[in-house]
Amino acid sequence: MRSSVLFTLLPLVAASVLGAFALAMADSTSLVKVARSPRTGREQPVLVELFTSEGCSSCPPADQLLMELDQAHWLANAEVIVLSEHVDYWNRLGWVDPFSSSQFSDRQKGYAACFAQAGIYTPQMVVDGHEELVGSDRTHALRAIADAARQPKANVVLAIAPRTQAVTGGQIGLTVRVEGLPGLPPHGPSDVFLAITESRLHSQILRGENSGRGLDHTAVVRSLTALGGAEGNKVFSAAPVVSIEPSWKRANLKAVVFVQELRSGRVLGVAALSLAPGQ
């Protein structure tokens, strides 16, 4: 990850505003029922990141909540796009998380600076780079998503490249276009990021705090790269080529592109695209 992901050490005041979600949504069944309501076409995309670890006994409930949000996808006025980022600082305590990376630990440290936090923890959920919370706190998560969905966003268009350029062996070509940044509230320098995620992953934990448990994961970030800077009133475009590792199952892959203000960490726009064959 580029060093710019470690956002400038300026505090971000996270605002939590009561959302349109009913606080009676206390279990996954009610969450899914709301999600199945017809899409209105007015939903605003919202990025939900979870910093987690297979070595942390507090993380499985947060992993489950993220899975429910991913399966729901449409929640009232929000299109929910999720990322599961497995940190590596739990690895020394008995179990090495196969999905972990120091890159995600560093990204979480960048958020800690934005939120003026003394340290980092798991499970931590970050909504649109603007509000952080304990990753298993369903009520807080729904409120934060509802609040984020009321904010204006840039238009992010993500597509698979034309057929003649799209797939070569283990690679997939994409096209990315970001526009509409001038219409947002004032913001500083921003970067455009591309994450490749894989869902339907399972681990059998043999050691550590979760020893003996089977854990399921969704939207695990397999790679995260910066595509370049988005500037002022200019349209950003890129044509990245994604390399698919042999161990990844393409049917379970997604590409997620998001625009993030470097100083505050605020997400200015996001879009997701399935990379499954035939999509």
pTM score, whole prediction: 0.85
Does a structural domain hold residue 209?
A: yes
Q: Which helix (H) or strand (E) holds 41?
A: none
pLDDT < 70 positions in the chain? 1-41, 163-169, 182, 279
Does a structural domain hold residue 279?
A: no
Q: Do residues 155 and 130 make contact, with C-beta atoms less than 8 angstroms apart?
A: no
Does a structural domain hold residue 84?
A: yes
Does a structural domain hold residue 186?
A: yes
Residue 43, classified by CB atoms within 10 Å of its CB into exposed (0-12), middle (13-18) or buried (19+), is middle
Domain range holding 206?
A: 3-274
Q: How many domains does the chain have?
A: 1
Does a structural domain hold residue 239?
A: yes
> What is the domain-level CATH number for residue 109?
2.60.40.10
* Cα gap 137→132, rounded to integer Å: 11
Determine the pLDDT at residue 23. 32
Does a structural domain hold residue 146?
A: yes
Determine the pLDDT at residue 22. 33
User: From the CA atom positions of the chain, what is the Rg in Å?
Assistant: 18
Helices (H), 125-212: 138-148, 163-166
- Interval 225-269: pLDDT, tens: 999 998 877 899 999 999 999 999 999 999 999 999 988 999 999
Determine the pLDDT at residue 232. 73
Does a structural domain hold residue 42?
A: yes
- Report angle CA 80, 225, 214 to the nearest 5 degrees: 60
